[in-house]
Amino acid sequence: MPGENPLTRENFDYLAGAAGLDLNDPHLDELFSYVQVALAGIEGLAEIDVAGAEPDLAFNPAQQFQAFQE
Amino acid sequence: MDALELCYLSAGELSRLIRDKEVSPVEVIDAHLARIEATEPTLNSFITLLPEPARAVARRAEAQIQAGNYRGPLHGIPVGLKDLFNTAGVRTTSGSRVFDNFIPKEDCTVAARFQQAGAILLGKLNMHQFAYGPTGENFDYGHMHNPWNPDLVTGGSSGGSGSAAAAGQCTITMGSDTGGSVRIPAALCGIVGLKPTYGLVSRAGLTPLSWCLDHPGPMVRTVEDAALTLNAIAGYDPKDVASAGREIPDYTAALTGSVQGLRIGLPREYFDAPLDAEVAAAVAAAVSQLEGLGATVTEVSLPMFRDSQAISGAILMAEAAAYHRELLARDGDKLTPSVRLRLEAGLFVTAADYLKAQQARSKFNQEMARLFQEVDLLAGPTEPVTAPPILASEVTIGDRTVGVTGALTQYTRPYNISGTPAISLPCGFSESGMPIGLQLAGKPFDEATVLRAAYAYEQATDWHRRRPPI
């Protein structure tokens, strides 16, 4: 959530539960600290002007058909 | 010939001796197995060693060559594969004990192509767990050790590939490069590492880290060997959806020794980032040498270099978490804690962030494409520092202390974002005797120009002839 509100513990627990993590696992305390640092590392995304840019995703239907047929 | 000398011959040199029946593949394999036996207690390059299968294949190769069925330059050449390349009948752990007993039924495409070329698999090489780390530390199979100083990291994630090639344990090794994992250990271990253009070498049968950033590539001791290896493994593969259907040239034809007329750009932003003075001096000397050989060198600007960590970080975190999600749920507590944290953190990257990173990647690549209208190659350091100590979490560069992971990937990540070819080759040594790498990057599918410049520089210097003190 770069550029948005900082990740609160409440939000973290909600997302962790949605991701299937065990909310009773004491490991989650360490993960919470780690995630805050990790998301800070991608905060710079918020500053990048991407106007007019389409996501660079590879999808080549012709090639996928060919792979299936082979 | 002395067994140790056989271990330090390049694939090019060794293949000529094998072809002319001056050396047998059996001698070559025995020499390498002896070298492994002598050095492995220090280096820990291998997760799985295959002495008897390798000897059996060598005997067959010898018989084929004696019968006049020489297959080409990789016939009888000892190869090692990072342990995330699937190998039929040989366990493939991806650097995790969770997969200690995983034995693939099929070879990955790269392994199959090596086999077709007559290369001999010596074993599966140690790596950072799931390729998720740039240092070459592994708590399940033991850390990898740098042949130039075993207290220091090899770099990663393809650390065993770096140490095995540098120490003469294998003639050719293969790594995979998602944020620098071929070029980082190549630079820190003093060898050549080539990350080809995305789609040139098949990813089929490799454990993914990030589908859109993963690039398999050779790690060898000479530029000629990188070209010979690429000749054998490059080319269209229907099993890889990203595989490019392109004509594959003979890459050795590019090794002319000339850089006359090549335009080389030096991104000024690379020199604003944390950069050790010894490394900066070695790279500046290498660039001057290329200029002296006939290239034109100009300063250029790549402003989005500063965004590369955020772009590749978001993509990598999200894709790695997506691929390993079931594993995390099933066996998370069996993973190395630092790798588990990195993987789980990716679950908190939103779809919007991931897509923003992919949009930013498009912008980044437009900037790179504009730059490549002005120049044929970009040059710079592969690494801002020489190899840090094993288990160091920070490194001091000049007056700045920075995290090891960010530092080791700062110059390599941009070319995973752009998918363009980039090579690291030795360009000097620090006062403490540790190798320094020069990185040259080219246009998409223009490996020929990258190899051409790297070869010209290599032939004008003797850094690649130095051997680690092991």
Would you call B212 and A58 a contact, using CB atoms and an 8 Å cutoff? yes
B318 to chain A, closest Cα gap in Å: 11
A40 to chain B, closest Cα gap in Å: 9
Provide the pLDDT confidence category of residue A63 given band limits of 50, 70 and 90: low
Residue of A45, A47, A57, A69 best to disrupt the B interface, most CBs of B under 10 A: A45
Would you call A1 and B353 a contact, using CB atoms and an 8 Å cutoff? yes
Structure tokens at B118: 């007559």
- DSSP category for residue B441: E
Of A34, A42, A56, the CB nearest to B358: A56
Would you call B353 and A15 a contact, using CB atoms and an 8 Å cutoff? no
Q: Does A28 touch chain B (CB under 8 A)?
A: no
Would you call A63 and B241 a contact, using CB atoms and an 8 Å cutoff? yes
Set of chain B residues whose Cβ sits within 8 Å of the Cβ of A43: 310
Report the C-alpha gap between B437 and B155 in whole angstroms: 12
For domain B3-465, the question of CATH label 3.90.1300.10 is answered with yes
Q: Does A21 touch chain B (CB under 8 A)?
A: yes
Q: How many CB pairs under 8 A join A and B?
A: 110
**Nearest-5° Cα angle at B398, B397 to B404:** 10
- Of B97 and A4, more confident: B97
Would you call B353 and A2 a contact, using CB atoms and an 8 Å cutoff? yes
Report the C-alpha gap between A19 and B216 in whole angstroms: 30
Domain extent listing, chain B = 3-465
CA dist list (Å): B394 to B135, B290, B389, B406: 12, 33, 10, 9
Nearest to B174 by CA among B103, B254, B41, B78: B78
Looking at residue A6, what is its pLDDT? 73
| Residue whose structure tokens are 């094993």 | B390
Would you call B359 and A16 a contact, using CB atoms and an 8 Å cutoff? no
Set of chain B residues whose Cβ sits within 8 Å of the Cβ of A7: 348
Would you call A19 and B341 a contact, using CB atoms and an 8 Å cutoff? no
| Residue whose structure tokens are 């000897």 | B55
Looking at residue A69, what is its pLDDT? 61
Looking at residue A57, what is its pLDDT? 78
User: Which of the residues of B are catalytic?
Assistant: 82, 157, 181
Would you call B342 and A45 a contact, using CB atoms and an 8 Å cutoff? no
Q: Which residues are CB-contacts of B351 (< 8 A; sequence separation ≥ 6)? A: none
* Sheet (strand B120-125) strand order: B46-49, B120-125, B78-82, B172-177, B215-220, B192-195, B422-429, B435-441, B377-381, B263-267, B296-300
Q: Where are the beta strands (DSSP E) in B56-130?
A: 78-82, 120-125
Nearest to B432 by CA among B282, B272, B286, B270: B282
Q: Does A3 touch chain B (CB under 8 A)?
A: no
Chain A segment 33-62 residues within 8 A of B by beta carbon are 34-35, 38-39, 41-45, 47-50, 53-58, 60
Residue of B213, B246, B312, B359 best to disrupt the A interface, most CBs of A under 10 A: B359
Structure tokens at B395: 């490194």
Report the C-alpha gap between B60 and B258 in whole angstroms: 39
B380 to chain A, closest Cα gap in Å: 24
Report the C-alpha gap between B167 and B189 in whole angstroms: 9
Complex confidence, ipTM: 0.87
Provide the pLDDT confidence category of residue A59 given band limits of 50, 70 and 90: low
3-class secondary-structure state, position B20: coil
The answer to whether the beta carbons of residues B261 and B374 sit under 8 Å apart is no
Residue A70 has pLDDT above 80, yes or no: no
Q: Which residues are CB-contacts of B170 (< 8 A; sequence separation ≥ 6)? A: B32, B78, B79, B80, B122, B125, B164
Of A7, A31, A43, the CB nearest to B341: A31
Residue of B354, B356, B361, B405 best to disrupt the A interface, most CBs of A under 10 A: B356
Report the C-alpha gap between B316 and B354 in whole angstroms: 9
Residue-wise pLDDT tens digits, B267-294: 999 999 999 999 999 999 999 999 999 9
Low-confidence ranges of chain B (pLDDT < 50): none
Looking at residue A7, what is its pLDDT? 87
Residue length, chain A?
Answer: 70
Residue-wise pLDDT tens digits, B224-266: 999 999 999 999 999 999 999 899 999 999 999 999 999 999 9
Exposure b/e, B269-280, CB count within 10 A at least 16 = b? bbeebbbbebbb
Looking at residue B199, what is its pLDDT? 96
Report the C-alpha gap between B464 and B470 in whole angstroms: 16
Looking at residue A13, what is its pLDDT? 95
Amino acid at B151: D
Structure tokens at B460: 């004008």
The answer to whether the beta carbons of residues B231 and B247 sit under 8 Å apart is no
Exposure on the CB side of residue B310, measured as CA atoms within 13 A = 24
DSSP one-letter string for A17-59: HHTT--TT-THHHHHHHHHHHHHHTTGGGGG---TTPPP----
- DSSP category for residue B377: E
